[in-house]
Chains A and B, each alone.
Chain A
Amino acid sequence: MLKRNEIYKIDYLLVVAMALIVLIGILMIYSAGFDPIEKVNSGLFKKQLLWFIIGFVLMIALTFVNYNWLGDYSLHIFIVILLMLLFTVIFGRPVRNSKAWITLGVLSIQPSEFMKLSLIIILAKYLELREMEIGHFRELVIPALLTFVPIIIILLQPDFGTALVFIPILFTMLFVGGADITHLVSIILIATIATVVPMVITYREWVGEESANMLLDLFKNTDLIFVISGVLILIALAAFILHFFFVKKFYRRIYVPASVMSMGLFFSVIIMKYLKEYQKKRLLVFLNPDLDPHGSGYNVIQSKIAVGSGGFLGKGFLKGSQAQLGFLPEKSSDFIFSVVAEEWGFIGSIVLVGLLGVIIYKGIYIALESKDKFGALLASGITTFFFFHMLINIGMGIGIMPVTGLPLTFVSYGGSNLIVSMMCIGILINIRMRKFVY
């Protein structure tokens, strides 16, 4: 059990940083909810305050339970939340075209947010158990299944953005957990080839650029890509068989890249055929928002205007014209960073990024200092979760990431995300506290 003096080992900096970010968040939700013409407030900030209180209780609770207990029950937790996710898809009522919520009286919760934490816990446990065998390729199957089952359910909701975060969490945890780097790099390469090829082709078709590049023109022909993919897989097979008989590194150097290329091209054709036009364009608008200034590019353009027009000191609280007059869309959730940047300027943005940085660096530090592998993996998974939310949300607001609709941890309006994030903080404090407990 926890000794009395261990209470002093609570990482206060972490808690203070978090509390400050939540405070900024609530002020910004107040600002975003204010209608300067009707002089009324949407009142979302009050709800967020309520979620904060609930989150705080859960955070404290998670601080005092031994985190290893989470590992022991990780599969149970995972299954329960998976069932909740399934429930949303089957019985949930769509809110803004997405069946992501379970409503309990006045409160609605989003199981997909809780799934993030659950996945981190179960991956940490699995990787701890398989610490020695994780170098084998087959050991990646179970983590992949654990990740992709919820992803598929979330895609059915559909909630593309949320589903997307699971992938970097998986990869980072595999990486930190000791998976073979060749395996990870191969998978990433396959995914990259599979997405980049169709995107480049769609871009050139859309922009209507007169192609001067013969190579890219060849790629327009999907049959040809299939042929290339087939030839490469044959080369890979031949090399693999040779490798089987005469174990030489040379053959491995052929069949690994050849099969990576082959599979990348194969999947690129699949994506080209099955991804809908608007989905491909959405990815492209991220690259160049000016492609569609009235459609999906509108959000990015308005967000950049909000951020840029904030200048050094900002326009002042409740005085951001982009946010207050509604030019900035989704201002209390997806684009809340832009409200901070507009109303509090460079100072405000840097303070917010700094505070988020404190939490992330603290997380990495806690992972490094953890007394056991499970704690280390848990802390690194949580850190990854925070990090990618920050990267994608802020990156989207400042126009360096696609518009995927992820909340900014602790800042954006959203009960489930806030509660889960605060539970994560609780777990981090817990890992830190138990460093000296054996």
Chain B
Amino acid sequence: MSILVNSSTKVICQGITGSAGAFHTKQCLDYGTKMVGGVTPGKGGQKDANGLPIFDTVRQAVEATGADATMIFVPPPFAADAIMEAADAGIRVIVAITEGIPVLDMVKVKAFLKDRPNSVLIGPNCPGVITPGECKIGIMPGYIHLPPKDAKSGKSVGIISRSGTLTYEAVWQCASRGIGQTTAVGIGGDPVKGLNYIELLEMFNNDPQTDAIILIGEIGGTDEETAAAYIKQHVNKPVVAFIAGRTAPPGKRMGHAGAIISGGEGTAESKINALTAAGITVAESPATIGEAMAKVLGV
């Protein structure tokens, strides 16, 4: 089992003719993802380098291919529109990789998606989602992941992370200890985004194959604190967490629009305290996330 996507998920790429879209469509195909086509307005009827059909609109792509997931590489000025187009065409899992979408565009997207409860958005500004061995939608390097069926420890984890490259770090550390991953989701670092910790914690908690959950957060906002409270109340699987930015000086913006500390809110300390108080193991170093998980799982 897994969450969100699996071997039967049919995926299109919006922005398939751009350099990043084309490169990662090929990477996803190579990984085994069921890529069924792409969308670039004005290039409908053509085929991409892999022979995938290109459509002018998402609706045409869905009608022709039965796609139920999309990977968006559309440039920032047009990305909000692309997300809404996908939702309106009935796409179930929308993965927005694009970095740099204006915040107020995302505010409107969130309001738009409220009326389309069958679509979930992952991102933007994220690496995407992967169910190892089955379906990779995004820019993560596929080979670092370990499908549950190949996990020597017999245990598998679900991963939720605000940071792309830290997700890879956690995956790699688990895989090299024989711990598989059911699904890994990068939720992105933007202040206004799609799925957040709580929705995904619920999905992983309900997924019988997921033995434990890794939560990776960073300074800024209060999502980790909210997640800690939710875990304490509702999650009956072990959770290991890591929070990046302990050494970040207050008041400095560290890249992600998200990682801003203001007042006492959203510091690494406040998040670590909330998580620890909820009985969650917090890894001290970004290099010991896998080790902490191995210990919790007794492998």
Are A and B a genuine interacting pair, yes or no?
no
Residues of B within 8 A of A (CB): none
Residues of A within 8 A of B (CB): none
